[in-house]
Structure 1
Amino acid sequence: MTGRGKKLSDEDRVLWNLVARSAKPLKGKLGVEEPSPEPMTMEQAMALDKPAVKAAAPAPAKPRQTVTHSFDAPTHDKIAKGRLPIEGRVDLHGLTQDQAYSLLLSFLTRAYAGGVRYVLVITGKGSSSGGEGVLRRAVPAWLLTPPFRILVSSHDHAARNHGGSGALYIRLRRHAVPKS
C-alpha cells in the first residue's frame, strides 16, 4: 500500500489485525477498535492467487519439477549455526487454520518475489496436553500443495535455537532467469 485513502486487501487486513492486537495504547490514551474481517477460507485464499482471466499460454516444453524435500545436512547446519541468514520469519501462533494458510501463502509469495531464499515459519508445538499442534501438522502438508510447491524448494524442522519442532526452515525456489 503506497498512498493514503487506499483500501487494504484481505491479506493485508489479516496481517494488520495480528499486529494491531499485539499493540497496547499509550498511557492515558484510548485504544481504537477495528472491525475484524470475516475469516478467509482456504478456497478463498487460493482464489486470490488465481488471475481473473486465464490467458491461453503455450504448454512448457519441459515441466518444471515441483517436489519439495528436506534440507541436506550441511545446509541445515549452516542455517542452525547462523552462517546462512534467515531472511524472513512469520509466526502463526494463535491463528485459525484458514488465517494461517492465507498469511503463510501471502508471506511466502512476497518473500519469493523479493528474492528471499531462507525463511523461518513458527507454528508452535501445540497444546500442553501432549497432543501435537494442528498447525504443526498442517503446515508441512500445505507445503506439498500446488500453491506452495511453486514457491518452496524444500523444508525441514528448525534447530532448537530457532524453535525446534515448533518451527520450520523453508528454502524458497530461485527465480528463473530469462535467457538473453
Structure 2
Amino acid sequence: MAGKRRLSEAELALWQAVASTVAPLKPKRKKRSPMKGGAAAVAAPAALSPPTPSPPGKRPKSPPKGPPPVQKPASSKIAAQPPLTPNPAPGAMPGIDKRQAERFRRGQLPIEGKIDLHGRTQEEAHDALLGFLQRAFAQEKRKLLVITGKGMTQSKSGILKANVPRWLNEPVFRRLVLAISQARPEHGGEGALYVLLKRRR
C-alpha cells in the first residue's frame, strides 16, 4: 500500500491563499428546552398560591347556657306518690291489681308478722315499727299486722293510732310499704292496720 503523498510547496501555498479568503461559520445557538422555562413559569404561581384549607371538622357542641338541671332526690319521687290511707277507696291502691287489693283489704292474705305498739312512747314506737318492717322486708315477708290501739281516750294508744299512718307515709317507710288498710274486726279492727310490703328486687 502506497503511503500518503506530501503536498508540494506550491500546492501548500495555494491552499493557504484559498483558506484566507473564507470566513469561519458562526456556531449554532442551542435552543432552550421549553420545559425549563415553562416549568419555572408554572411552578412559580403554584409556590406563591396559599395552600387550600382542609374542610373544617365538626365543632363540639357548646354546653347549654344557664345552670345545670337539678336532679330530684329519690325521696321526692317517693313523696310524690299518692298517700297511703287506712281506708282506701276501692281500686285506689297503686301498684296492686284489683283482685289482690280486695284480698288484702278483706284480710284474706296470710299474715306473716305482727307487732304490738301498746305502751310505747312515740319515739320508741316509731323506731320499733321501722326496725320491724325492715326485718320483715329482708325476710321477703309481704302482709303484716300493726296493732296501735283504738284510741278511745287521749292515751298513748290513741296518739299512735293517729301517728302510725302518718309515719308509714314518710320516705323511709315508703321505700318498704306498698299499701295499708284498716284491719278486720277479728284482727283488731280500728286498733290495727294491715301493712303490705313491696317485693324485694
Same fold (TM over 0.5): yes
Equivalenced residues, count: 117
Instruction: Choose the corresponding residue for 1:142, options 164, 167, 176.
Output: 167
Aligned-pair identity (%): 43
Q: Which runs of 5+ in 1 are unaligned?
A: 1-58
Instruction: Give the AA of the match of 1:124.
Output: G
Q: Does structure 2 conserve the Cα–Cα contact (< 8 Å) formed by 1:79 and 1:85?
A: no
Instruction: Pick closer, same or farther for the CA change 1:140–1:79 going to 2, 3 Å.
Output: same
1:63 CA drift (Å): 9.2
Instruction: Pick closer, same or farther for the CA change 1:129–1:92 going to 2, 3 Å.
Output: closer
Instruction: Give the AA of the match of 2:137.
Output: Y
Instruction: Give the AA of the match of 1:138.
Output: N
- Report SS of the residue matched to 2:141: coil
Instruction: Give the AA of the match of 1:133.
Output: G
2:185 aligned with 1:160: yes
Instruction: Pick closer, same or farther for the CA change 1:164–1:76 going to 2, 3 Å.
Output: farther
Q: Does structure 2 conserve the Cα–Cα contact (< 8 Å) formed by 1:79 and 1:86?
A: no
TM value normalised by structure 1: 0.55
Counterpart CA distance in 1 for 2:153 and 2:122 is 19
Instruction: Pick closer, same or farther for the CA change 1:163–1:76 going to 2, 3 Å.
Output: farther
- Report SS of the residue matched to 2:131: helix
TM value normalised by structure 2: 0.50
Instruction: Give the AA of the match of 2:163.
Output: A
Instruction: Pick closer, same or farther for the CA change 1:98–1:166 going to 2, 3 Å.
Output: same
For 1:8-87, list aligned pairs within 5 A.
66=78, 67=81, 69=84, 70=88, 72=91, 74-75=99-100, 78-79=103-104, 83-87=108-112
For 1:100-139, list aligned pairs within 5 A.
100-128=125-153, 133-139=158-164
